[in-house]
Amino acid sequence: MYSDTRKLIVFSAPSGSGKTTIVRHLLEKTNLPLSFSVSATTRPPRGAEKDGEDYYFLSESEFKRRIEKGDFIEWEEVYPGVYYGTLISEIERIWNSQKAVLFDIDVEGGLAIKSQFAEQTLTVFVRPPSVDSLRQRLVDRQTDSAEQVEIRVAKAAEELKKAAAFDQILVNNTLEIALADAEQLVANFLNS
């Protein structure tokens, strides 16, 4: 159905915007040849997250060793001592399975991937309806302390300024509409 699956589809957003929910929905669509790129991170698992499925959980020293080896296509110290990155081996693994790579990644990481694979990449910025609604979503998910929520909200304000650098901006006001819009964006890109 799709002639070229050697493509990269990046969903980025401030924490709590709903990008992970959208990405999980897209992965359930059997008509879309997508596979999830598992990022590496030094942060501890949250809730029921599993190593190798949600993230590759690495120690800070292991992460830095792999940076030195050139194993990452992109990486960033998102918060002090907390690194995230995309392993080159993940992209190769997915392309070898004849699927397009689907990313759920921070804003800087998404832009870094686009800069290296401009013609093969669709970048989508998932925007919350407001900063106040974002704060409430972070509080409601009960995975961070009040202090951590405020750190994430402050970072979100900076990330929102970069939305215009993305190919598409998807406002997640009503989840069902955002999911349908995301499906259409991805299908159109895979058909291009």
Share of the chain above pLDDT 90, in %: 65
- Residue 102 has what pLDDT? 97
pLDDT at 2 over 90: no
Q: What is the dihedral of CA 87, 88, 94, 96, to 10 degrees?
A: -150
* Cα gap 127→166, rounded to integer Å: 11
CB half-sphere exposure, 136, CA atoms < 13 A: 6
Share of the chain above pLDDT 70, in %: 98
User: What CATH number has the domain spanning 8-191?
Assistant: 3.40.50.300
* pTM (predicted TM-score): 0.84
Cβ-in-10-Å burial (0-12, 13-18, 19+) of 2 comes to middle
Q: What is the mean pLDDT of residues 53-64?
A: 95
Give 190 or 106, the one with higher predicted confidence.
190
**In the predicted model, what is the mean pLDDT of the chain?**
90
Contact predicate 169/127, CB 8 Å: yes
Give the residue from 164, 168, 159 showing the smallest Cα distance to 121. 168
The length of the chain is 192
> pLDDT tens-digit profile of 149-192?
887 777 887 888 899 999 999 999 898 999 999 999 999 999 98
pLDDT at 113 over 80: yes
Q: What is the mean pLDDT of residues 97-113?
A: 92
> pLDDT tens-digit profile of 121-152?
999 999 887 777 778 877 877 777 888 888 77
- Residue 185 has what pLDDT? 96
Contact predicate 104/19, CB 8 Å: yes
- Residue 1 has what pLDDT? 61
pLDDT at 53 over 70: yes
Contact predicate 39/91, CB 8 Å: no
Q: What is the mean pLDDT of residues 3-31?
A: 89
* Cα gap 35→23, rounded to integer Å: 10
Element (H, E) at 129: none
Report residue 3's pLDDT band, with 50, 70 and 90 as the boundaries: low
